[in-house]
Amino acid sequence: MKEIKLGVIGCGYWGPNLIRNFSENYHTDIKYVCDINENRLERIRLRYPHITATTNYKNILKDNDIQVVAIATPVHSHYNLAKDALEAGKHLLIEKPFTSKVKEAEELVELANKKNLMLFVDHTFIYTGAVKKIKEVISSGGVGDIYYFDSVRVNLGLFQSDINVIWDLAPHDVAIMDYLLTEKPKSVVATGASHTHSKIEDIAYVSINFKNNLIAHFHLNWMSPVKIRRIILGGNKKMIVFDDLDPADKVKIYDKGITLAKTNKKTVYQNRIQYRIGDMYAPNIDNTEALKIMVDHLADCLLNKKTPITDGESGLRVVRILEAAEKSMKKGGIKISL
């Protein structure tokens, strides 16, 4: 028998993926789905006749069998739904971005801690084979000191009506950065532009400075004629390119870089920099669906009292950067300290 009973709130774009993966997991048992849109519920009912479909999420909260509530609604509704669920004593899975304000995220983290409930943020990319492999390489010291983290996520569409391109696309890459790097960001500068009547920015550039000479940058664009999803991560030992759209070799590890000759004498500058151009290596990547691994991890955390890799704290750190980036962008690119 599946031990973990849960309900899913929100059956739009991502909810059905959660439902499918919860159904296929050996520990999780979906008892409820909820959406305010009846058509969406109808589609779920056809495929999963045994699940109770409701338009009122409170029906889920008051069922004592339910241990976990998964929230896959638009971000502006996360805070209220999450607060209600936590107060009803439910563990939580929340879609990214965690909340639309730092204050809300802080409150939810605090509340979950107080009530000793799990707060799991669905930063799905953290559970991909590619990101896991990169983490291993970094953790083993293979990359050395990290110099930069450069991310591009651009495509034509899908324009959102309630959030701008930063809140829509950056959570993926900022969460990956947060997972891979241990350094703390110091300040954010962001610029962007809107090209529709909505004034919602469809293109944005976010730059993050750290205490040392590490720098991170995010290019986010809903209006690109070509689709690019690529992270370049440079270190003093190795450099990594993660191209999520390369079907064959998603992660390439380059033995390239510069070597700084250690010398006290005053020598000509050029002589001190040596280029190292070595081999490239593309490790085989586990292709298991990331959402499946996320659900496995969620079940493991609940059953074995573990802390999720993508807990509320990590969700909060991501929201802090998104909020600062938006603020910088709205003011034309001023520098915001974190």
159 belongs to the binding site for a second copy (CB under 8 A): yes
| Cβ atoms of 198 and 184 closer than 8 Å | no
Q: Which of residues 183-202 bind a second copy (CB under 8 A)?
A: 187, 189, 191-198
Give 135's Cβ-side CA count (13 Å radius). Answer: 16
Cis peptide before 338 (omega within 30 of 0): no
Query: Helix 165-180 to helix 129-139 angle, to the nearest 10 degrees?
Result: 40
Other CB atoms within 10 Å distance of the CB of residue 303: 11
37 belongs to the binding site for a second copy (CB under 8 A): no
| Cβ atoms of 244 and 255 closer than 8 Å | no
Q: List the one residue from 182, 248, 265, 305 that touches a second copy (CB under 8 A).
A: 248
Q: List the one residue from 254, 296, 301, 338 that touches a second copy (CB under 8 A).
A: 254
CA–CA separation, 318 and 297 (whole Å): 20
Q: List the one residue from 36, 148, 301, 311 that touches a second copy (CB under 8 A).
A: 148
144 belongs to the binding site for a second copy (CB under 8 A): no
272 belongs to the binding site for a second copy (CB under 8 A): yes
Q: List the one residue from 76, 282, 300, 307 that touches a second copy (CB under 8 A).
A: 282
307 belongs to the binding site for a second copy (CB under 8 A): no
Structure tokens at 325: 């980036």
* 1-33 core/surface letters (b: 16 or more CB in 10 A; e: else): eeebbbbbbbbeebbbebbbbbbebebbbbebb
3-class DSSP state for residue 131? Answer: helix
Q: List the one residue from 217, 237, 292, 297 that touches a second copy (CB under 8 A).
A: 217
CB of 172 to a second copy, least distance (A): 19
Residue 303 contacts by C-beta under 8 Å, 6 or more apart in sequence?
Answer: 3, 4, 27
| Cβ atoms of 38 and 63 closer than 8 Å | no
Tell me the one-letter amino acid at 137.
Answer: V
Q: List the one residue from 62, 226, 265, 304 that touches a second copy (CB under 8 A).
A: 226
Q: List the one residue from 15, 97, 171, 234 that touches a second copy (CB under 8 A).
A: 234
277 belongs to the binding site for a second copy (CB under 8 A): yes
46 belongs to the binding site for a second copy (CB under 8 A): no
161 belongs to the binding site for a second copy (CB under 8 A): yes
Q: List the one residue from 7, 10, 16, 257 that touches a second copy (CB under 8 A).
A: 257
Interface residue list for a second copy (CB under 8 A)? 147-148, 150, 154, 156-157, 159, 161, 187, 189, 191-198, 203, 205, 207, 209, 213-215, 217, 219, 221, 223-227, 232, 234, 236, 239-241, 245, 247-249, 252, 254-258, 260, 268-270, 272-273, 275, 277-284, 332-335
